[in-house]
Amino acid sequence: MSLRLGDIAPNFEQDSSEGLINFYDYLGDNWGILFSHPADYTPVCTTELGYTAKLKDEFAQRGVKAIALSVDDVESHHGWIQDINETQNTTVNFPIIADKDRKVSTLYDFIHPNASETLTVRSLVIIDPNKKVRLIITYPASTGRNFHEILRVIDSLQLTDHHKVATPANWTHGDDVVIVPSLQDEAELKQRFPKGYTAVKPYLRLTPQPNLE
């Protein structure tokens, strides 16, 4: 199965470091981040899981729940979590799925045969409250994930879901945004964007981020 943007994220039940997980029950009405790791006790992933734990408050502010996956078993996960807590000076506060049978990895297309026949690639999936896949990023084993970019994308998705805007290159929270080209009615423009807008070109109109005071 090849998972694509806009697909419904598959539900699953699988054991984890925090017991049996039903994915949909775990997410509830929240946004979700599911990210895979090739194996326990890998150096880059150790730093990533530690950093994810440190972002607990940032995720909570955005209504996001994190969950990780590795192909090793629960006992191995518990040992690895101890190492993560010790070396990254944090406390892992989210479950790590024990995907020894590769059930979840197969559902989410985390195994790429040209990279490895048995190990998952390091992919990250963002899922919205309607269980739709909104972002898929796959990283090489040698490059750690950029969690500032992940937070930036979540901010963009949540903003653009509620306002008729898109976010331009390198946008971060607080920057001007782009009004979507389909919105042409001047009365609606004034209602939606009372601070006004700048028309650089007819199709490129910039306005202050609409959900800020």
Sequence-ordered alpha helix ranges (H) in the chain: 23-27, 43-54, 56-61, 74-88, 103-107, 147-162, 186-192
Measured CA to CA, the distance from residue 112 to residue 106 in angstroms comes to 10
Distances 47 to 44, 55, 87, 92 between C-alpha atoms, Å = 5, 13, 8, 11
Q: 123 and 43 in one domain?
A: yes
**Residue 39 pLDDT more than 90?**
no
So what's the pLDDT on residue 61? 97
Q: Has residue 2 been placed in a domain?
A: no
What is the number of domains present in the chain? 2
Q: How many angstroms separate the first and last alpha carbons of the chain?
A: 44
Pairing of strands 64-70, 31-37: parallel
Q: Has residue 117 been placed in a domain?
A: yes
Mean pLDDT of 183-207: 93
So what's the pLDDT on residue 140? 83
Q: Has residue 158 been placed in a domain?
A: no
Q: 189 and 117 in one domain?
A: no
- 133-137 contact pairs (CB < 8 A, 24+): 133/3, 133/4, 133/5, 133/6, 133/7, 133/8, 133/9, 134/5, 135/5, 136/3, 136/4, 136/5
Q: Has residue 157 been placed in a domain?
A: no
| Share of residues in the chain with pLDDT > 70 (%) | 95
CATH number at residue 203: 3.30.1020.10
So what's the pLDDT on residue 112? 61
Q: 61 and 99 in one domain?
A: yes
Q: Has residue 6 been placed in a domain?
A: no
60, two tokens: 């909570």
Mean predicted lDDT score pLDDT of the chain = 92
Domain extent, residue 203, equals 163-207
Measured CA to CA, the distance from residue 138 to residue 182 in angstroms comes to 31
Q: 173 and 117 in one domain?
A: no
Q: 137 and 34 in one domain?
A: yes
- Give the burial class of 194: count Cβ atoms within 10 A of its Cβ; 0-12 exposed, 13-18 middle, 19 or more buried: exposed
- C-alpha torsion angle, residues 73, 111, 7, 30 (rounded to 10): 30
So what's the pLDDT on residue 201? 94
Measured CA to CA, the distance from residue 213 to residue 205 in angstroms comes to 20
Output the pTM of the full model.
0.91
- Closest C-alpha to 27, from 161, 110, 131, 157: 131
Q: 178 and 132 in one domain?
A: no
So what's the pLDDT on residue 110? 84
**Residue 56 pLDDT more than 90?**
yes
Please write the tens of the pLDDT for every residue from 113-170: 554 555 556 899 999 999 999 999 998 878 899 999 999 999 999 999 999 999 999 9
Please write the tens of the pLDDT for every residue from 14-32: 999 999 999 999 999 999 9
Q: Has residue 106 been placed in a domain?
A: yes
Residues with active-site annotation? 45
| Share of residues in the chain with pLDDT > 90 (%) | 82
Q: 97 and 63 in one domain?
A: yes
Mean pLDDT lowest for which of 4-8, 83-87, 119-123, 127-131? 119-123
Q: Has residue 104 been placed in a domain?
A: yes
